[in-house]
Structure 1
Amino acid sequence: MKSQIILKPGKEKAIKLGHPWIFSGAIHRVQNAEQPGTSVDVCDHKGQFLARAYYNPKGSLAARIFSRQAGQELDQAFLERQIRAALARRPALRPGFQTMHRVVASEADFLPGLIVDQYADHLVFQILTAGMENHRDAIIEVLKTIFSPKVLMERSDEAIRTKEGLHERKEILIGSHDQARTVAYENGMALTVDTWEGHKTGFYLDQRLARQMVESYARGAEVLNCFSYTGGFSIAAKRGGARRVTSVDESRPALEILEGNWRQNPGNEDCQMENVRADVFAYLRQLREQGARFDLIVMDPPKFVSDRAHIDRACRGYKDLNLLAMQLLREGGILATFSCSGLISRDLFQKVVFGASVDAGVDLQILHQLSQADDHPLLLSFPESLYLKGLLGRKVSLS
């Protein structure tokens, strides 16, 4: 018996428009697909073929489409073809200027559940779904064939795997733990990346364009970089001509890497550096009590919400941070503020920042709407692929 899922009447519209997700509530019947990750035909209520997907009965997001071609298997040949196509769509890497990027961005590159990041000769991948987990061996062989990496590492240590019935996993497949750190280049910045212990796969690649923007506004500025991690925005501000950069993060290892990044990016030697290990919320309130002021503030917090039930709480957190930032900005100062929470829409985030400006008694001239870099593409048919929202604005007082 063929493995397939039959949709309820009317539920095929989004699929025909290119959306890759099928929720359990849209499914009328499932045939011969008891094992998580089984490849299936997706058919409308009349039995007409729509797409190929893999199915998982364990969650509400039941199926993810990987092909629109009848009979297509999620095999090694298909994986190699799709990964090569994704790589070909990326801007060329240039040694000494740009040597790190995202190669595969899950659904946005038509490989749902797979992420592949490259840092110079280090390659890091994440498998987030049962459908991709079933083809892990093939994925590894394809990555070896295409990239011949010096270090190949799996960072499938994301909690989202539990929703797929999977355990978290970290493993070095080529190389060793003492090779986990590497130096890669972004826009000419030399940045140390810890691919084993670092956040995500080691670095926040999606903020490449935003860091360029911050660099362009940093000349002569006193800069506060909140949730600084290993200092991508801090180094960009230094390169842009900042006179002082204060970086705040709770992680001592991240701040230690930041110090190394500062040293290995010469130039603007008069720029003063201060690294503060602290809770950002508490530290911002302390700065406000001290009457501190800054010309440029970067507010790039971690993901605040992964469940719709907690959206209101997340919005309160974003509002508090932006209110404090606006109170700490000098008149005419620049705020670069972000949300990487996929459940927070761009419109909602802008409303939250507006609410903060009202409470602060100021206004914000929005100079740029920011988003994820071009190696984290947005599919028009899959709006969920837009997760990073940013605003860069100038503080102006209300008259």
Structure 2
Amino acid sequence: MADRQFREPGRVRLVRHRTPRLEMGHPWVFRSEIETTDGTAQPGDVVEVADHRGRYLGRGFWNPDSQITVRLLTREDRPVDAPFIHERVRAAWQHRIWLAARGFLGPRTDPPSLARVVNAEADGLPAVIADRFGDIVVVQALARGAERLLPAVLDALEATLQPRGIFARNDAPVRAREGLPLAKGWLRGTGSLRPVVDDGPLQVEVDGEGGQKTGYFLDQAANRRAIAPLCPGARVLDAFCYTGGFALHAAYHDAAEVTGIDSSSEAIELATTNAERNSLSDRIRFRAGNAFDELRALHRAGQIYDLVILDPPSFARSRAALPGAIRGYKEINLRALGIIRPGGFLVTSSCSYHLSAEDFRQILVEAAWDARRSLRLLDERGQSPDHPVLLAAPETRYLKCLFLQVL
């Protein structure tokens, strides 16, 4: 198993005329950039990558069936083996400890019990996700090579974090595009899949088995904390509220009245439980509903809010879906602008990495024009620091979150 897991049976040589993205720090090689392949590489194997002259550029895992044909693991001339994987996982966790100690992950400075531990390419382990929820870790392997390396990743997570259990959420649709089965289940140990963890000042219950992503939107943690100055005395609407993250923080920070809406009745049930757990039920009302329809109905009814929060799921899971996504983002922001008082606030997000920050801003400009409103930018934010970004790889900065004042 170990030999198969780490063997290097092939070498990829790149074409002469190409943008030197790889040399500049991007971790992907696309199919169109490959000139020749030597050896007997199978999908998921680690291969060497060389330029057109044969100069060594690095090692990565290979999948000829994917547009992203090689995902680079290292630029050093070193084997990709169990010690390599352990080193990467330890370094990723040490980075989170460093972030927490310096206040980047919130006011608490001890090692985080709620955090993304491994964030794929940005931590040098492409397509590998590991999230810590108290004493369990939820993992995803989103490419063939990541699946091949998963046993070593599990060993490293056990050695580094000593969790009670490691659960796989390998049910993401992207796995099917990699030719991998969709599955979920315990890989090591066991534990509660409804852990209660600290999200800043709040205690929240997480659905590790059935919830979105790995169970909670960890990437919005810093943005949830950042709404605090907008909340005292406010009437707040949290559309696409999921299990209540933004809504709970708004109520905790002295909002007068908070309404949360989500299409999932299961998410609404958990949001209600989380409000009760934090003694916030007197100021929060959650209800199941289609956010598009609810925003239209609130506008027709003449409802007015001091703060509206929009955190929808990804509307563009592929580049082909982008035109429809643009229409969707414009629609919800247009409707939101119609129910915010002059001088009130809109916190709006997009997690679609196919939609650029520039395009998202343009959508908001056009929505404001149609609503006959003006927008003042207070802050332009991204994902929380435990979801690091590679500057040379814009795809790793997928979350856009704008804090706007509506004039």
- State the partner residue of 2:100: 92
Instruction: Please list, as runs of the form range in 1=range in 2, the aligned pairs for 1:363-378 lying within 5 A after superposition.
Output: 363-378=374-389
Alpha-carbon separation, structure 1, partners of 2:110 and 2:25: 38
1:212 aligns with 2:225: yes
> Does structure 2 conserve the Cα–Cα contact (< 8 Å) formed by 1:41 and 1:49?
yes
Deviations 1:11-43 (A, max 9, x none): 371111111000010000011244101111101
> Does structure 2 conserve the Cα–Cα contact (< 8 Å) formed by 1:151 and 1:180?
no
Give the superposition deviation at 1:141: 1.7
Give the superposition deviation at 1:378: 1.1
- State the partner residue of 2:393: 382
> Does structure 2 conserve the Cα–Cα contact (< 8 Å) formed by 1:181 and 1:193?
yes
- State the partner residue of 1:247: 260
Alpha-carbon separation, structure 1, partners of 2:273 and 2:37: 55
- Give secondary structure in 2 for the equivalent of 1:35: coil
- State the partner residue of 1:50: 57
> Does structure 1 conserve the Cα–Cα contact (< 8 Å) formed by 2:9 and 2:45?
no
- Give secondary structure in 2 for the equivalent of 1:237: helix
Give the superposition deviation at 1:98: 5.0
Task: Pick from 142, 151, 156 the counterpart of residue 165 of structure 2.
Answer: 151
- State the partner residue of 1:67: 74
Instruction: Please list, as runs of the form range in 1=range in 2, the aligned pairs for 1:116-127 lying within 5 A after superposition.
Output: 116-127=130-141
- Give secondary structure in 2 for the equivalent of 1:161: helix
- Give secondary structure in 1 for the equivalent of 2:187: strand
* One-letter amino acid of the structure 1 residue matched with residue 185 of structure 2: E
Alpha-carbon separation, structure 2, partners of 1:59 and 1:52: 17
- State the partner residue of 1:110: 124
> Does structure 1 conserve the Cα–Cα contact (< 8 Å) formed by 2:90 and 2:156?
no
Alpha-carbon separation, structure 1, partners of 2:19 and 2:60: 14
Note closer, same or farther for the CA distance 1:138–1:98 as it changes in structure 2 (3 Å cut): closer
| Runs of 4+ residues over 6 Å off in structure 1 | none
Deviations 1:215-256 (A, max 9, x none): 221000000000000001011001111010000001111111
> Does structure 2 conserve the Cα–Cα contact (< 8 Å) formed by 1:23 and 1:62?
yes
Give the superposition deviation at 1:102: 0.3
- Give secondary structure in 1 for the equivalent of 2:21: helix
Instruction: Please list, as runs of the form range in 1=range in 2, the aligned pairs for 1:1-399 lying within 5 A after superposition.
Output: 3-11=10-18, 13-73=20-80, 75-90=81-96, 91-92=99-100, 94=108, 99-176=113-190, 179-266=192-279, 271-396=282-407
Alpha-carbon separation, structure 2, partners of 1:95 and 1:85: 18
> Does structure 2 conserve the Cα–Cα contact (< 8 Å) formed by 1:98 and 1:187?
no
Which region of structure 1 is more displaced relative to structure 2, 333-342 or 10-19? 10-19
> Does structure 2 conserve the Cα–Cα contact (< 8 Å) formed by 1:225 and 1:248?
yes
Deviations 1:300-342 (A, max 9, x none): 0000012212211100000000000000111111100000000
Give the superposition deviation at 1:168: 1.2
> Does structure 2 conserve the Cα–Cα contact (< 8 Å) formed by 1:98 and 1:185?
no
> Does structure 1 conserve the Cα–Cα contact (< 8 Å) formed by 2:345 and 2:405?
yes
> Does structure 2 conserve the Cα–Cα contact (< 8 Å) formed by 1:102 and 1:205?
yes
* One-letter amino acid of the structure 2 residue matched with residue 41 of structure 1: E
Alpha-carbon separation, structure 2, partners of 1:194 and 1:95: 25
* One-letter amino acid of the structure 2 residue matched with residue 384 of structure 1: E
> Does structure 2 conserve the Cα–Cα contact (< 8 Å) formed by 1:36 and 1:55?
yes
- State the partner residue of 2:105: none
Give the superposition deviation at 1:120: 1.1
- Give secondary structure in 2 for the equivalent of 1:16: coil
> Does structure 2 conserve the Cα–Cα contact (< 8 Å) formed by 1:12 and 1:44?
no
Q: Percent identity?
A: 35
Alpha-carbon separation, structure 2, partners of 1:9 and 1:354: 42
Alpha-carbon separation, structure 1, partners of 2:86 and 2:9: 25
> Does structure 2 conserve the Cα–Cα contact (< 8 Å) formed by 1:97 and 1:185?
no
TM-score (norm 2): 0.93
Give the superposition deviation at 1:96: 9.6
Give the superposition deviation at 1:175: 5.0
Alpha-carbon separation, structure 1, partners of 2:90 and 2:110: 23
> Does structure 2 conserve the Cα–Cα contact (< 8 Å) formed by 1:152 and 1:172?
yes
> Does structure 1 conserve the Cα–Cα contact (< 8 Å) formed by 2:334 and 2:368?
yes
* One-letter amino acid of the structure 2 residue matched with residue 40 of structure 1: V
* One-letter amino acid of the structure 2 residue matched with residue 219 of structure 1: P
- Give secondary structure in 1 for the equivalent of 2:296: helix
* One-letter amino acid of the structure 1 residue matched with residue 199 of structure 2: E
> Does structure 1 conserve the Cα–Cα contact (< 8 Å) formed by 2:65 and 2:178?
yes
Note closer, same or farther for the CA distance 1:338–1:130 as it changes in structure 2 (3 Å cut): same
Alpha-carbon separation, structure 2, partners of 1:102 and 1:83: 12
Alpha-carbon separation, structure 2, partners of 1:273 and 1:78: 48
Q: Which runs of 5+ in 2 are unaligned?
A: 1-7, 102-107
Give the superposition deviation at 1:54: 1.0
